Amino acid sequence: MALPLPPGLTPPEIAFLCEMELVTVIPRQKLERLELLGGSLPPLNPPHRAPLPLWLALLLKRQRRANILPPLWLSPHSLTAILDHETEHGDGFSPPPRLPPLPSQNTLPFSPPFLPSSTADAAPDALPYHWLELGEMLLETAADDFEDPDSVRKLLRGLREVRMAKLRQVVETLDAAGGVNMNGVGGMEVAEGRTFVTGVIDGLRKIVTSREQQKKDRDREERENGDDYDDDEMEMQ
Amino acid sequence: MGSYYDVDAILTDAQKVPCTFELTVPGLGYVEGNMSGDMKQGSKVELPLWLGEMLAFSQSLNTSSLVTLDPPSAVAPRVLNALKADPRTVDLRALAPHFYNLGARILELFDDDEMMEVLSETFKARAAVIADQAHNPRGALGEGADFMRGLDENERQLFRAAHDSAKAVRTWMADLKKQ
Q: Are residues B54 and B131 in the same domain?
A: no
CB-CB: which of B1, B101, B168 is closest to A10? B168
Over residues B101-143, the pLDDT tens digits come to: 888 888 888 878 888 888 888 888 888 888 888 887 665 566 6
A-B Cβ pairs (cutoff 8 Å, strict) = 100
Residue A86 — pLDDT band, cuts 50, 70, 90?
confident
B85 and B65 inside one domain: no
Mean pLDDT, rounded, of chain B: 82
CA quadruple B140, B144, B149, B152: dihedral sign: negative
Q: Using one digit for the tens of pLDDT, what is the confidence trace for A44-80?
A: 888 888 888 899 999 999 999 999 998 888 888 889 9
Residues of chain A with C-beta less than 8 angstroms from the C-beta of B104: 206-207, 209-210
Q: What whole-number distance in Å separates Cα of residue A59 and Cα of residue A57?
A: 5
Same domain membership, residue B127 and residue B55: no
- Partners of A22 in the β-ladder: A53
Range of the structural domain that residue B171 is part of:
73-178
**Concatenated DSSP letters of chain A:** ---SSPSS--HHHHHHHHTTSEEEEEESS-B--EEETTEEEPPB-TTS-EEEEHHHHHHHHHTTSEEEE--GGGSHHHHHHHHHHHHH-TTSPPPPPPPPPP--SSSPPP-TTSS--SSTTS-TTS--TTHHHHHHHHHHH-GGGSSSHHHHHHHHHHHHHHHHHHHHHGGGG--TT-----TT--HHHHHHHHHHHHHHHHHHHHHTHHHHHHHHHHHHHHHHHHHHHHHHHHHH-
Of B24, B48, B69, the domain-final residue? B69
- The residue out of B15, B49, B69 marking a domain boundary is B69
In a domain, B30, yes or no: yes
Q: Of B35, B53, B69, which residue constitutes the final position of a domain?
A: B69
The string of pLDDT tens digits covering residues B19-78 is: 888 878 777 777 777 777 777 778 888 888 888 888 887 665 555 677 888 888 888 888
pLDDT of A237 strictly over 50: no
In this structure, whether the domain defined by A11-96+112-207 belongs to CATH 1.10.132.20 is answered with no
Tally of domains within chain B: 2
pLDDT surpassing 50 at residue A18: yes
B55, B23: one domain: yes
Question: Does B1 fall in a domain?
Answer: no
pLDDT in tens, B68-77: 888 888 888 8
| Contact list, A203 vs chain B (CB under 8 Å) | 100, 123, 127, 154, 158
B87 part of a folded domain: yes
Of A10, A12, A211, nearest to B116 by CB-CB distance is: A211
Using a CB-CB distance cutoff of 8 angstroms, which residues of chain B are in contact with residue A194?
165
pLDDT per residue over A88-126, tens digit each?
887 778 877 777 666 666 666 666 556 777 777 777 788
Three-state DSSP at B23 gives coil
Mutate to test the interface with B, among A3, A137, A171, A204 (most CBs of B within 10 A): A171
pLDDT (0 to 100) of residue B138? 65
- Are B110 and B58 in the same domain? no
Q: B92 and B156, same structural domain? A: yes
Q: Is residue B2 part of a domain?
A: no
In chain B, pLDDT over 70 holds for what percent of residues? Answer: 90
Distance of CA B176 to the CA centre of its chain: 42
Q: Do B128 and A171 touch (CB under 8 A)?
A: yes
Residues B53 and B78 in one domain: no
Same domain, B65 and B77: no
| Residue A47 preceded by cis peptide, ω within 30 | yes
**B38 and B80 belong to one structural domain:** no
Judgement on whether residues B93 and B165 belong to the same structural domain of the protein: yes
Identify whether residues B60 and B114 lie together within a single domain.
no
Whichever domain contains B161, its CATH number is 1.20.58.2050
Confidence of residue A3 (pLDDT cuts 50, 70, 90): low
Does residue A233 carry a pLDDT above 50?
no
Share of chain B above pLDDT 90, in %: 1
* Residue A59 confidence (pLDDT): 92
Backbone angles phi, psi at B25, to 5 degrees: -110, 120
Nearest to B165 among A172, A195, A210 (CB): A195
Helix B113-135 and helix B99-109, axial crossing angle in degrees, nearest 10: 160
Distance (Å, rounded) from C-alpha A221 to C-alpha A215? 10
Q: How far apart are CA B130 and CA B148, in angstroms?
A: 8
Asked whether the ipTM of the predicted complex exceeds the cut of 0.90, the reply is: no
Are B40 and B119 in a shared domain? no
Residues of B in contact with A210 (CB under 8 A): 104, 107-108, 111, 116
Looking at residue A154, its pLDDT comes to 92
